[in-house]
Structures are given as C-alpha cells and as structure tokens.
C-alpha cells in the first residue's frame, strides 16, 4: 500500500496520530503540500462522504474522520500558498427560520469544508432575508437550507421567492435537506438539489457545480 493510500485509510478510520505522522513523512519525502492535500486528505473525505451516503459509515465515524482530516490540514496550511487550495465554491448554509435543529446542518457544513468548499454557516433560525443578504454579500455559488420540522419547510419556498425578488436566483444553486424534506418537495419549490444526508449533500453539490456566468 502506498503512503497516500495509507494516509487516506487512516483519515477514514480517524487515526489522528498516524495521519499527523504520515503527513510529516510525505513532506520529508519531498511531496508538495498541495499533492498531500488533494491525494491524501481530500481524497479520503470523498470516500467518507460516499460511505456515509451508502450507510457504511455513520455520524460518529464521519465526525472523527473530518476532525482527523482537519488536524492533518493544520500541518499543511503554512505551506500552502493562497492560490494553492482549489475552492469548489462558496456555500451559505443554515437552518431555516423557526427551526432550532443544527446537528445535520453542522455535519453537512463540516463535510463541505473538508471537501474543499468555502462555507459560511449562518446557524439556526435564519430568516429568508438573512440568507439572501449573505448570498449577495459573499457572491455565494450555493445556498444550503435545512429544516427538521414540517412547519418550517415553507421557509425554504419563501427564501427562494426572496432570491427571485432580489434578482439572485439564477446565479446560485439552492440545495435543501432535513428529515421531513423530500425530492418531491425540492422539485415543487424549485430547488436545484436535494440530499437525504450529509454524504449525499457533498455529492450533489459537486455534481451540480457552480453556476457558470
């Protein structure tokens, strides 16, 4: 097994000390920080996301892997130039107004960041106007909304309407999710994507990609 294959496996399994040692070993062997990031750390989180979607990994294991990946990244950050990290896109994410649940949303945000997205997390109980203002301010490529209550799902529709009124709808991909949310509901309100869990959210975001101006 190659060094990068071992590194990926240890990230996936949450073996923090092994990951820290292997990142240092890769640097000592002359590998570029960018190569270690892409072929080791980010590649591992792609596997983690796919396994979560397939229900082969669960939340505690995914969180451990993500934290392990972040520990490895801390070693590489000083060695990465500003333009070295290829950002997949900027994501504004939050739980909609009236809803105070955040565990699923937090996991999606963590995995998106691990997968190379720039994440702006607005937290919980986020009104439509706040989502729209942050999308405009950050020139976000994606807007992710979570709802864990059927009573708060209409806020997703209202946020989309607010985006339309602000003239921003055509320039941002809108992704929705949460226990009561379905693909049918996403289609009904005109969202661009739906994800049943955090692993699927990463896959959907990558498949959709940013809107090309």
For residue 84, being part of any structural domain is answered with no
Domain boundary residue, one of 79, 101, 133: 79
Tokens standing for residue 166: 């602000």
145 touches 94 (CB < 8 A): yes
Instruction: Give 77's pLDDT tier (boundaries 50, 70, 90).
Output: confident
Same domain, yes or no: 170 and 196: yes
Name the residue range of residue 99's domain: 90-208
Same domain, yes or no: 150 and 112: yes
pLDDT higher than threshold 70 for residue 212: no
Q: Which residues pair with 91 in a beta bridge?
A: 119, 142
Domain count, the chain: 2
For residue 22, being part of any structural domain is answered with yes
For residue 194, being part of any structural domain is answered with yes
Q: pTM for the complete prediction?
A: 0.80
H/E segment holding residue 150? none
CATH number of the domain encompassing residue 30: 1.10.1240.10
pLDDT tens profile 116-174: 899 999 999 999 999 999 999 999 999 999 999 999 999 999 999 999 999 999 999 99
Instruction: Give 84's pLDDT tier (boundaries 50, 70, 90).
Output: low
Same domain, yes or no: 198 and 96: yes
What is the rounded CA–CA span in Å between residue 164 and residue 176?
17
What is the rounded CA–CA span in Å between residue 49 and residue 91?
17
C-alpha distances in Å from residue 212, one per residue of 33, 38, 82, 209: 29, 24, 23, 9
């Amino acid at each position: 097994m190659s060094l990068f294959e071992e590194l990926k496996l240890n990230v996936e399994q949450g073996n923090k000390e092994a990951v820290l040692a292997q990142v240092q070993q890769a640097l000592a062997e002359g590998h570029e920080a960018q190569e270690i990031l892409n072929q080791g750390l980010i590649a591992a989180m792609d596997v983690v996301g796919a396994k979560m979607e397939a229900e082969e990994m669960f939340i505690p294991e995914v969180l451990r892997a993500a934290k392990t990946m972040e520990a490895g990244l801390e070693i590489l950050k000083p060695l990465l130039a500003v333009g070295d990290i290829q950002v997949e896109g900027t994501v504004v994410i939050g739980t909609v107004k009236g809803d105070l649940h955040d565990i699923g949303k937090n996991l999606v945000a963590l995995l998106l960041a691990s997968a190379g997205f720039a994440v702006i997390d607005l937290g919980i109980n986020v009104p439509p106007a706040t989502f729209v203002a942050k999308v405009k301010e950050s020139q976000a490529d994606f807007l992710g909304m979570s709802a864990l209550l059927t009573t708060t799902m209409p806020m997703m529709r209202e946020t989309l309407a607010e985006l339309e009124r602000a003239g921003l709808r055509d320039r941002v991909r809108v992704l929705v999710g949460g226990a009561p949310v379905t693909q049918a509901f996403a289609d009904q309100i005109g969202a661009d994507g739906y994800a049943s869990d955090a692993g699927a959210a990463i896959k959907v975001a990558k498949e959709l990609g940013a809107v090309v101006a």
